[in-house]
Structure 1
């Protein structure tokens, strides 16, 4: 039986989520966030950044 793919409910299919360290600001106490490198988003762990998950 073939598995179906669905859009990841955690990131909405974007493959990235708001950075949990800086809250999406890209900075922590006037310094660039080391976790997201200032982007404000990190790769979604639920879908490994693909935006899709299997049933």
Structure 2
């Protein structure tokens, strides 16, 4: 269940980043999308490594 939520968040952040680059003047949206994407990837990596132990 947690993996599904993380994947959904990654897709949403990626779409925000792409939308920010496509729409002129919404560069801040791309920056927020990229930052949230990286945070979600980091959270997923930490959560996955803690579940292996």
Length-normalised TM-score, structure 1: 0.33
Structure with greater strand percent: 1
Larger Rg: 1
Q: For CA contacts below 8 A with separation 6 or more, give which structure has more relative contact order.
A: 1
Structure with greater helix percent: 2
Length-normalised TM-score, structure 2: 0.33
